[in-house]
Structure 1
């Protein structure tokens, strides 16, 4: 059987609950032979994870999941095979991290304006254990008893009703350029999931002029129909194919490491993997 793969995993460097050591231990339990740490706008845990993965006999592809915006929609772009020290890419990710940190502050401000029992000065002092997963505003609202978890946050709080939404991230073309400058390949993440809103065909139409190297065809939130449509699109246009769980450790219910089942022979990652990974 071909090597089992999971090329979409988050750690404590963004909103996951696992450290690199915990991730590698879980990857061994699931008998994964090919993985990627794809934290949101961060490569902080990649070097440590690569060292631990090599010692465990696991191939780890250096990567990140980078936020972008087009037509008021947020898109996540997976950069695979990147130089994690590339200045241009690091500056872009630092810019995005700053936007997300400010969004936390703005979210609490807007909720306070609307009469929620939150305190901006208290939030300014607030810290949380990154092993919980998620982000600072979410942890604060949970600790205040105002939110039950990530699903509740997006369904009831992070909504247009409260003037809340994602920041205006850099354009897709800018993110792709930065990934290419770092020697990587840029693939659109979870295009067939509900994350984008308008549906896969609309998403593909929106993205038709963008110079993606490929798409994440296999994902925990993709239907079989969506997966097959993306595979068809990639094969027709000669694009790269990736896949992964989008596991955040224990943070996002229902996402399990190594699910859906993906093997290296199901992927197309030309030039990104060692010759012996099959």
Structure 2
């Protein structure tokens, strides 16, 4: 039985609809899924009946943006109460940070590029099939970006700073627990560039903050990173999860493919204790 617990739909920044995700899962022989869209659970109205009809097991979840040691870190929230007001408020806060970045970038770039402007941007409707988000899709239609790194290079070059910040990772973990969910730290190896000297000291720190587990098996994790994460989770009886961070091809790079099926890990290698699995 294969699982993929970190997938995105077009309700955040993927090119794939829930129906296309389930179809792809069937083709790959994936038995257990979690669509963990960025700061939203909007896909689940479609996803739950689709998985049931196709005999695919499902964990409900979302990927929530946080601040940790001055950097953006993501927490995978699993099996929490979707209607929890604090979670909803956190997601809105995170979305406002991203929206501020988009708007500020467009404002600053409009001075140098006559083909873009705030009124034009406000009237723009994102094409869900393109993946990404409004600011990215808008600039791509103007041939000013072509991939995720090129967008964030502009953010850096124009010294864009959002008006607000992401909530702290400790607060998000606590809020997930208050919503009866589990908090798993996403792709820490990618965040720390697989530098074990950076990763290892933070595992205990994050555990002490209340993290329930780590995304041990991940697209860009090295074998050494994976082994360290699995060993730490096993010794501390923490959750062990797997994710490919599939965005329907949107975030693929020349040397990295974030695709469902890229990493296939048998269910027996995971630890999903106390997480409700639908189906």
Shared fold by TM > 0.5? yes
| Structure 1 equivalent of residue 213 of structure 2 | 214
Question: Does 2:75 match 1:72?
Answer: no
Q: Which whole-Å CA distance do the structure 2 matches of 1:4 and 1:270 have between them?
A: 16
Q: Is the 8 A contact 1:191 1:203 kept in 2?
A: yes
Aligned to 2:197: 201
Q: Identify if the C-alpha distance between structure 1 residues 200 and 13 changes in structure 2 by more than 3 Å, giving closer, same or farther.
A: farther
* Structure 2 residue aligned with 1:260: 263
User: How far apart, in 2, do the equivalents of 1:273 and 1:222 lie?
Assistant: 27
Aligned residues of 2:192 and 2:198 also touching (Cα < 8 A): no
Mark the runs of 5 or more structure 2 residues left unpaired by the alignment.
none
Task: Give the counterpart of 1:171 among 168, 173, 195.
Answer: 168
Secondary structure at the counterpart of residue 189 of structure 2:
coil
Shift of 1:197: 5.6
Q: Distance in 2 between matches of 1:176 and 1:202?
A: 21
Separation of aligned partners in 2, 1:258 and 1:197: 22
Taking the aligned partners of 1:228 and 1:173, their CA distance within structure 2 comes to 25
- Rounded to whole Å, the distance in 2 between the matches of 1:198 and 1:112 is 38
In the alignment, is the contact (CA less than 8 A) between 1:73 and 1:196 conserved in 2? no
Aligned counterparts of 2:12 and 2:120: Cα–Cα separation in 1:
23
Tell me, which stretches of 5 or more residues in structure 1 are unaligned?
none
Kept after mapping to 2: 8 A contact 1:244/1:262 = no
Structure 1 Cα separation of the partners of residues 49 and 200 of structure 2 = 37
1:126-275 map, 5 Å: 126-154=124-152, 156-159=153-156, 161-164=157-160, 168-193=165-190, 195-196=191-192, 199-206=195-202, 208=205, 209-253=208-252, 254-274=257-277
1:5-154 equivalence runs, <5 A = 5-113=3-111, 115-117=112-114, 118-154=116-152
Preserved contact between residue 59 and residue 277 of structure 2 (Cα < 8 Å)? no
Larger deviation, residues 198-207 vs 131-140: 198-207
The two structures have a TM-score, normalised by structure 2, of 0.90
Which region of structure 1 is more displaced relative to structure 2, 14-23 or 80-89?
Answer: 80-89
Cα offsets for 1:87-142 (capped at 9, x unmatched)? 221121122112212221112123335x2443222112111211211011111111
Question: Structure 1 residues 11, 43: closer, same or farther in 2, change over 3 A?
Answer: same
Q: For each residue in 1:228-258, what CA deviation from the matched residue of structure 2 results, as whole angstroms up to 9, or x when unmatched?
A: 1111221222211101110011212211112
For the aligned residue pairs, the C-alpha RMSD in angstroms reads: 2.0
Q: Helix, strand or coil: the match of 2:100?
A: helix
